[in-house]
Amino acid sequence: MTGSNARRRTGAGFPSRNPAPGLDETDPAGDSSGDRYGGQSRRPAPSTEPDRDADPAAVARAIVLRQLTNSPKSRLQLARKLAERNVPDDVAEAVLDRFEEVKLVDDVDFADMWVRSRSQSRKLAKGALRRELAEKGIDAETAAGALAQLSDEDEESAARELVQRKLRGAAGFRDRAERDKTTRRLASMLARKGYQPSQAFRIVGEVLDAAGTGTGDEPVS
């Protein structure tokens, strides 16, 4: 066997495939540049959880900041999150008080924002919005102030838009029974969004009449 063949058979002249002492070749912790196929390192990402041994107030502040970064929150929502993370009540109260002092937590601003957003995106009436605000710990007076920005005309306009959207492309009704069934379905939809039943039925009837979908007295072609 020639010297070059011997080297080829024994692997002489090539990097050793044996891992360094104490490191498993397949252990991602022993490969600082990714796996041997050129992939990224498989080291687990550092935890974003607060250090359980840290000062409770620091932990609470980190939790609140992270929650507010995701989306605006009411004070009650933040208090519930701190309770889930076992932050002591007195620490949670002190931290939330400080966030209120610097206006990072403000239930008045939160309620105003919630009403504007939900009335526009979901076409919710005042009744549904009032229930949602109560669930988030907004008191009745603050809720009333936020709801004042939504006029009766705004509510009706949103309801009509919803009904018109549902009727888009619909043909006329074959008979009165079919129209009544559609009226009940659309009125129920509005009721779920917080509209009063009498208001919902009135709006649906007016939209159907204006759309010329027929009264059911005569077949509609």
What span, in angstroms and rounded, lies between the C-alpha atoms of 93 and 76?
11
pLDDT at 25 over 50: no
Of 118, 105, 103, the closest CA to residue 79 belongs to: 105
Does residue 141 lie within any of the structural domains? no
pLDDT at position 213: 62
- Asked whether residue 219 falls in the same domain as residue 159, the answer is yes
Does residue 32 lie within any of the structural domains? no
pLDDT at position 39: 43
Does residue 172 lie within any of the structural domains? yes
Matching residue, tokens 């809720």: 143
- Asked whether residue 161 falls in the same domain as residue 221, the answer is yes
Does residue 175 lie within any of the structural domains? yes
Q: Which domain holds residue 196?
A: 151-221
pLDDT at position 203: 96
Mean pLDDT throughout 209-213? 78
Instruction: Please give the tally of structural domains in the chain.
Output: 2
Does residue 207 lie within any of the structural domains? yes
| Banded pLDDT at 156 (limits 50, 70, 90) | very high
What span, in angstroms and rounded, lies between the C-alpha atoms of 10 and 25?
20
pLDDT, tens only, 102-125: 999 999 999 999 999 999 999 999
Residue pair 216/177 in contact by the 8 Å Cβ criterion: yes
Does residue 181 lie within any of the structural domains? yes
Mean pLDDT throughout 37-45? 44
| Banded pLDDT at 48 (limits 50, 70, 90) | very low
